[in-house]
Amino acid sequence: MGHDERDHALLSASSAHRWLKCTKSARLEEQFPDTTSEAAKEGTLAHELAELKVRNYFNPGDVSKRKLTFAIKKFKEDPLWDDEMLIHTDTYIDYIRDVSIKLPATPFVEVEKRVDFSDYVPEGFGTADCIMIQGNTLFVIDFKYGKGVPVSAEENPQMMLYALGAYEACKILYPIERIRLGIVQPRLPDGISEWECTLEELLQFGAYAKERATLAFAGEGEFAPGEKTCKFCRAKKQCRARSDHNVKMAFNLGELPPLITKEEAGQRLLAMRDVVAYQKDLQEWALSECLAGNEVPGWKAVEGRRSRDWTDMDAAFEKLTKSGVVAEEILWEKKPLTMAQVEKTIGKKDFADAVGEFVTQKPGKPTLVEASDKRHAITNKVTAQEAFKEEN
């Protein structure tokens, strides 16, 4: 099955993080079209390449080197193709290779495996990128081509549902006791996330998912607005629960002491995380309504600031230089590529080998993030070590 032909269940594994919390979201989302972004199409193309590489590695009789080379040639005709895909899919196959080589015996491998988890989620099924079984361990590995949001494997509901489906399919043949989940997100600097749990823990999650899925399938339970929960919800622009929640966060301040404390600042920042994103979503929706000729009281659509563009830049430049108004050199500026563009052009390895010695890391601008962020906290305070160095 082509990756873009995958059909979706009402309670899909990829949206499980949402319907597990906000059980009413699944039925509400049904009213909105499931649109595919350019980024998603790009991800589909990268997945197709990744799938062929894994098949070529584990089963060259099925996908030979020649077949793979031919497929890559075809992929390159796609307008969304980028040579970077070859490097990023290599990272994925390298990870799978590393995991499988360390095992005491050759694992049983399934690529792009349709998994049925309907014992836990009504009509639940999905497609796992790679499943491996060796001894008493079930591996579920997922390739994510996104470069925006890092996805953690830890208690990842999508992966756990795939694991439940894979477990149900193989439990008669294999004495599964351990589950290992791996997510490879090669476009992120720290793009590999792994997590392990026991079969008992997986089944406990299964029981919880079953309870929540029954509510979600019936459109019952509760709305649970939150930044992460609502982020990719198709109802997010019009959902009343999210709207009320954000309005409350922005305006319902209760009693107003003259100064807020650091604790209150922390709590309010946490509570208001989604307010700005929600305002943007609401503006987008109101604009589309105005443009469709519908009235949104108090608002209207207008033409934004106009910008100028040449109808024929070459002809204009020629006229300017030929008539002696300006010299050609003045009309063009020579700009260096950014470091990232140079690296993308020549590839990571050649970049590191050729000019790695000229690269230095400048400290990043201090940024406020949530305490759960993996990076180390920084302060402006001078440490005893630094003060001592200064005195010397």
Give the footprint of ligand SF4 on this chain (CB under 6 A).
Answer: 18, 22, 25, 28, 223, 225, 229-230, 233, 235-236, 239, 241-242
Nearest CB to ligand SF4, comparing residues 9 and 111: 9
CB contact at 8 A, 184 and 144: yes
Nearest CB to ligand SF4, comparing residues 53 and 242: 242
* Dist CA 378 CA 330 (whole Å): 46
> What's the closest the beta carbon of residue 30 comes to ligand SF4, in angstroms?
11
What is the maximal distance between C-alpha atoms in the chain?
85
Nearest CB to ligand SF4, comparing residues 241 and 301: 241
Sign of the CA dihedral 47, 192, 152, 282?
negative
> What's the closest the beta carbon of residue 7 comes to ligand SF4, in angstroms?
21
> What's the closest the beta carbon of residue 238 comes to ligand SF4, in angstroms?
8
Nearest CB to ligand SF4, comparing residues 114 and 240: 240
> What's the closest the beta carbon of residue 246 comes to ligand SF4, in angstroms?
10
* Dist CA 13 CA 162 (whole Å): 7
> What's the closest the beta carbon of residue 230 comes to ligand SF4, in angstroms?
3
Contacts of 48-52 with CB under 8 Å at 24 or more apart are: 48/2, 48/3, 48/75, 49/75, 49/85, 49/86, 49/89, 50/89, 50/92, 50/93, 50/129, 50/143, 51/3, 51/111, 51/112, 51/129
* Dist CA 189 CA 347 (whole Å): 15
Pairing of strands 178-184, 108-116: unpaired
CB contact at 8 A, 44 and 242: no
* Six-digit token string for 244: 């009320």
Nearest CB to ligand SF4, comparing residues 12 and 25: 25
> What's the closest the beta carbon of residue 161 comes to ligand SF4, in angstroms?
18
* Six-digit token string for 224: 């649970």
How many Cβ atoms from other residues are within 10 Å of residue 112's Cβ?
A: 18
> What's the closest the beta carbon of residue 22 comes to ligand SF4, in angstroms?
3
> What's the closest the beta carbon of residue 236 comes to ligand SF4, in angstroms?
4
How many Cβ atoms from other residues are within 10 Å of residue 392's Cβ?
A: 5
* Dist CA 339 CA 344 (whole Å): 9
Nearest CB to ligand SF4, comparing residues 17 and 88: 17
Nearest CB to ligand SF4, comparing residues 239 and 249: 239
Nearest CB to ligand SF4, comparing residues 184 and 230: 230
